[in-house]
Amino acid sequence: MRDRLRIVLILALFVVASWAWADGDREDWQQPDRVVADLGLYPGVTVADVGCGYGYFVFRLAPAVGEAGRVLAVDIDREAIGQVKERAKQERLSNVEALVSDPTDTKLASASLDAALVCNVLHEAPADQRGPLVQDIARALKPGACLYLLDWRQSHDVTQDPYEKLIPREDLLKLATDAGLTLDAEYHYLKYQVFLRLRKPVLP
């Protein structure tokens, strides 16, 4: 009985620690304000947050693009999109538009984006859907526009997901280059994440 109680307590402590790592400390390790600043947004541009979830970045992007800009919040989760819509309505954010997507179809118009953000999404997608999804995002970028790709670094320091589920940096980069994007910059200040800036070429 005592051993069983000890196991239960250990598991409970592990769960609490995982919650803190994932949510309570996210401001520290995600550095969202610095990330948004590095997107180089300005009033009037259109940016998509693909796999936006419940809007962690959406409502930080909205002030950056101003009232004349647009933030397209895209996710396959209808409940999450519903909550983003409700919050945008409550906060009277006319520059936020929430869209329900398909796994490999963002529903975004071709050559419509000045930038796209994809944060901690690709490792959740089945391997055979990752390439088509990145290709669809690339299709939606204007020539010269950038995809900002953040995903968990393949490291045992990342405890949010099993190590085997994490995508090596080289594989993330290959997904982008196979979609016709080129590595334009890489940021190294995030503790747990790879952060790549990938540019769509300007055609002559």
Alpha-carbon distance of 135 to 24, in angstroms, equals: 33
Residue 86, token pair as written in the block: 């409700």
- What is the model's pTM? 0.86
pLDDT of residue 16: 34
Domain ranges of the chain: 1-29, 31-199
Residues of the chain with pLDDT under 70: 1-24
pLDDT of residue 160: 75
Residues 6+ away with beta carbon under 8 Å from 85? 98
Measured N-to-C along each axis, helices 127-140 and 169-178 cross at an angle, to the nearest 10 degrees, of 50
pLDDT of residue 40: 96
CATH class of 31-199: alpha beta
The DSSP bridge partners found for residue 199 are 146, 182
- φ, ψ of residue 91 to 5 degrees: the values are -90, 0
In sign, the C-alpha dihedral spanning 7, 9, 12, 18 is: negative
pLDDT of residue 6: 42
Q: Of 73, 112, 113, 116, give the one whose Cα is nearest residue 91.
A: 73
Quick count: other Cβ atoms within 10 Å of Cβ 162?
Answer: 9
pLDDT of residue 25: 86
Q: What Rg, from alpha-carbon coordinates, does the chain have?
A: 18
Q: Of 198, 130, 113, give the one whose Cα is nearest residue 168.
A: 130
Longest CA pairwise span in the chain (Å): 74
Alpha-carbon distance of 152 to 107, in angstroms, equals: 25
Q: At 74, is the secondary structure helix, strand, or coil? A: strand
